[in-house]
Structure 1
Amino acid sequence: MSSPQTILLVEDNPDDVDLTRRAFQRAGVTHPLEVVEDGMDALDYLFGRGVFSHRLHEPLPALVLLDLKLPRLGGHEVLRQIRAHPSTRFLPVVILTSSDEEQDLVESYSHGCNSYVRKPVSYNEFVEAARQLGVYWLELNRSPEPGVSG
């Protein structure tokens, strides 16, 4: 049996990273969670560049959870670049943000996000959101193989 694909969490707030780890664990999501703290590292991770060059021939994550407000390169630009590259064009990307701005929602979908989830305020709501994300994106959803053109 192969090991489960990873989830890439792009999040610069250590408290939110910890909360996400605990919520996935409590929700029974067993996929390994890889974390990068800014948009440039997210792209380097996905494309196997720089400090992530060892990942060049490794599988893409099963899911990217992308915050919008990031250092060095914001989430909207990260999403735009993910969608522009043939190998990541169909990679499931869920915006996971505290932003309640309509413009962020519209821009996220304009750049091709698969889903937009506002981070719940309470821990129990966050655990339930993590459970639902895990069930849908990691168990029910099917995505094209990387590099498939449409």
Structure 2
Amino acid sequence: MLKLKRILLVEDNANDAELTLEALAEHNLVNGVDLVRDGAEALDYLYRRGKFAGEPPPNLAVILLDLKLPKVDGLEVLSTLKGDEKLKFIPVVVLTSSREERDVVDSYRLGVNAYVVKPVNFSEFITAVKELGAFWAIINEPPPSSQKG
């Protein structure tokens, strides 16, 4: 039986996290979503350290990554992830409120797969997240090397 890949949401803003989870649920995605609240926790999740120690390796369809995170910022998480041979093929979508040109350029330089600015309008935000979830969890075909555990 094929095990569905999960979605990792890295978001420190409780309201944005709740809206994102609601939008993904509205689209009836059956992929599970794991939520972490800061960059350090995201790295612990990916490397199975701390409270994630002993859990099986993550089987991720996509990481939805905020940039402005406490402890370790999103660009550092992205740099670490894309610099690791075992993790670099996991698709990463930056989902942030930052429109700063430097953030966009740095994200793509580090290997982000997409950069999405969170819409301020509620319905636009819900629509954007639904479409992101559907594309990355259902439509996108990842490279074969990202399927290895």
TM-score of the two chains, using structure 2 as the length reference: 0.91
Q: Secondary structure at the match of 1:146?
A: helix
Deviation at 1:130, TM superposition (A): 1.6
Deviation at 1:63, TM superposition (A): 0.7
RMSD over aligned Cα atoms? 1.6
1:35 corresponds to 2:73: no
Q: In 2, distance between residues paired with 1:147 and 1:49? A: 21
Q: How many residues align?
A: 147
Q: In 2, distance between residues paired with 1:85 and 1:16? A: 28
Question: Counterpart of 1:116?
Answer: 115
Deviation at 1:114, TM superposition (A): 0.2
1:84-123 superposed matches below 5 A? 84-123=83-122
Q: Give yes or no for contact 1:99–1:118 (8 Å, CA) kept in 2.
A: yes
Q: Give yes or no for contact 1:6–1:32 (8 Å, CA) kept in 2.
A: yes
Letter in 2 for 1:41: E
Q: Give yes or no for contact 2:46–2:58 (8 Å, CA) kept in 1.
A: no
TM-score of the two chains, using structure 1 as the length reference: 0.91
Identity %, equivalent residues: 44
1:1-150 superposed matches below 5 A? 1-55=1-55, 57-144=56-143, 145-146=145-146
The C-alpha deviation readout for 1:3-39, integer Å capped at 9, x for no partner, is 4221100011111111111111122222111111111
Q: In 1, distance between residues paired with 2:133 and 2:36? A: 19
Moved more, 77-86 or 139-148: 139-148
Q: Please, which runs of 5 or more residues in structure 2 have no aligned partner?
A: none
Deviation at 1:86, TM superposition (A): 0.9
Q: In 2, distance between residues paired with 1:60 and 1:24? A: 18
Q: In 2, distance between residues paired with 1:77 and 1:19? A: 25
Letter in 1 for 2:89: F
Q: In 2, distance between residues paired with 1:15 and 1:71? A: 16
Q: Give yes or no for contact 2:7–2:137 (8 Å, CA) kept in 1.
A: no
Q: Which runs of 4+ in 1 moved over 4 A?
A: none
